[in-house]
Amino acid sequence: MAGPQIVMYEEEFNQIQEVCEKLVKDANAIVVFIIDKNGQLIATAGEYENLDTTSLASLTAGNIAATGGMAKVLKENEFATQFHEGEHQNIHIQIVGQRVILVVIFDERSSLGLVRLRVRKASQSLTEIFERLVEKMQDPNMAAPLEEITDDDIDNLFND
Amino acid sequence: MSFINYSSREINCKIVYYGPGLCGKTTNLQYVYNRTNPDAKGKMISLATETERTLFFDFLPLSLGEIRGFKTRFHLYTVPGQVFYDASRKLILKGVDGVVFVADSQISRMEANIESLENLRDNLQEQGYDLDKLPYVVQYNKRDLPTVADLTEMREVLNTTHVPDFEAVATNGTGVFDTLKAVAKLVLTELKKGS
Ligand SMILES: Nc1nc2c(ncn2[C@@H]2O[C@H](COP(=O)(O)OP(=O)(O)OP(=O)(O)O)[C@@H](O)[C@H]2O)c(=O)[nH]1
Ligand SMILES: [Mg+2]
């Protein structure tokens, strides 16, 4: 038993990507990305070429996990929103539908108010998309996607 | 919790290195990091104290190659071994696909090994995992030291379920990749079964 897995399909991926790209524009953001709570990157949009998004994703997930742990100690529900203000850049972190994390990085060309507003709208769209995705994942016809992989395939991966 | 992306054709899995304080978890990751091609790895992140004890986690993203057109990516994490960081350990176990238990072979650390292994079982159980059903391997580290416990003895105490196990000297890399490959293989085999 290796916990339930997340599966991402082309259709939903494109929809999620679209939401991210729209959010970059609407919020005047530098970068928008979505990760799952384990720190796996799901989608990225904006000027991310020079950004170590893998590191950011795992650190954000760690941060959310730690904050979630604090909430538990305080017998709170999770803290759904976080905001970190830097000298030049700011990070807005939002938990969406209790399952994924939406991160927006922005600078003085935008404002916290605008980001908040646009994040709220994007969250609604994302929640709907992820609900559909979860339904799809539970469809038995869609499940066990890696069945065709053989033991030899796995062995070959390690024979170098 | 593995993440399979059909759009980018990627399989992502999470492997956690667990074990008592100073057993060599971080050293395992550092060795893997130093011996991997730049294009197959990302940056290694260590959230550590000033004395280089792991404070929250180490993180190393690693690509292992392709299977049937899917890129396989492994996210390696270590937990902080010190007893009082238990809350952090629980967080890092979330969504785990495979576990490496790193034991410290020094006789003086046998108690600590046993305690840590029990702690691993408890913390997994708390999140609905059963160690006996999870891809899992054991590593007996620090075999180079003069005061190590007998291997048969360590096996009897720390590997009662007879999972794959390896002797290691993480500082010079002995056994490090064997351990990693074994757990990665178990994880992929489990994925194939369709959990
Ligand atoms: N002799 C010897 N020393 C080792 C070996 N592996 C690790 N060490 C040393 O043991 C010390 C602790 O190693 P770490 O990798 O930081 O231990 P850790 O398990 O990450 O410890 P925590 O972060 O506190 O949980 C370091 O000084 C390492 O160089 C080994 O195989 N042989
Ligand atoms: Mg460490």
DSSP alpha helix (H) spans, chain B: 25-34, 86-93, 110-126, 151-158, 176-193
**Would you call A147 and B75 a contact, using CB atoms and an 8 Å cutoff?**
no
CA distance A23 to chain B (A): 21
Lowest-confidence segment of A14-28, A119-133, B37-51 by average pLDDT? B37-51
Question: How sure is the predictor about A1, in pLDDT bands with cuts at 50, 70 and 90?
Answer: very low
Of A6, A54, A158, the CB nearest to B181: A158
Comparing C-alpha atoms, which of A131, A126, A95, A111 is closest to residue A103?
Answer: A95
**Above 70 in pLDDT, residue B194?**
no
Question: How sure is the predictor about A7, in pLDDT bands with cuts at 50, 70 and 90?
Answer: confident
pLDDT attached to residue B191: 86
CB B82 within 8 A of CB B53: yes
Comparing C-alpha atoms, which of B16, B2, B14 is closest to residue B139?
Answer: B16
User: Does the CB of A151 have a partner CB in chain B at under 8 Å?
Assistant: yes
Q: What is the CATH classification number for the domain harbouring A120? A: 3.30.450.30
Mean of pLDDT over chain A: 89
Task: Give the whole-number percent of chain B exceeding pLDDT 90.
Answer: 83
Site to probe by mutation for ligand 1, drawn from B145, B171, B172, B176 as the one with most ligand atoms within 8 Å of Cβ, is: B171
**Residue A95 placed within a domain:** yes
**Would you call B94 and A146 a contact, using CB atoms and an 8 Å cutoff?**
no
**Above 70 in pLDDT, residue A143?**
no
**Above 90 in pLDDT, residue A29?**
yes
Q: CA-to-CA distance for A58 and A64, rounded, in angstroms?
A: 10
Q: Which domain holds residue A71?
A: 10-145
pLDDT attached to residue A3: 42
User: Does the CB of A74 have a partner CB in chain B at under 8 Å?
Assistant: no
**Residue A152 placed within a domain:** no
Domains of chain B by start residue, with CATH: 3-194 (3.40.50.300)
CA distance A119 to chain B (A): 24
pLDDT attached to residue B195: 47
Residue pLDDT, tens place only, A54-106: 999 999 999 999 999 899 899 998 899 999 999 999 999 999 988 899 999 99
pLDDT attached to residue A2: 37
Q: How far is CA A154 from each of CA A44, A53, A87, B92, B181, rounded to the nearest angstrom?
A: 30, 28, 48, 26, 10
Greater pLDDT, A30 or B193? A30
Task: Give the whole-number percent of chain B exceeding pLDDT 70.
Answer: 99
Q: Which residues from A are below 8 Å from B97, CB to CB? A: 2-3
Locate the chain A residue with the closest alpha carbon to B14: A38
**Residue A114 placed within a domain:** yes
Locate the chain B residue with the closest alpha carbon to A12: B7
pLDDT attached to residue A150: 79
Q: State which ligand 1 atom lies nearest to the alpha carbon of B19.
A: 19
Rounded to two decimals, the ipTM of the complex is 0.83
User: Does the CB of A148 have a partner CB in chain B at under 8 Å?
Assistant: yes
Comparing C-alpha atoms, which of A83, A96, A91, A110 is closest to residue A25?
Answer: A110
Give the A:B interface size as CB pairs under 8 Å.
142
- Number of structural domains chain A divides into: 1
**Above 90 in pLDDT, residue A137?**
no
Greater pLDDT, B65 or B1? B65
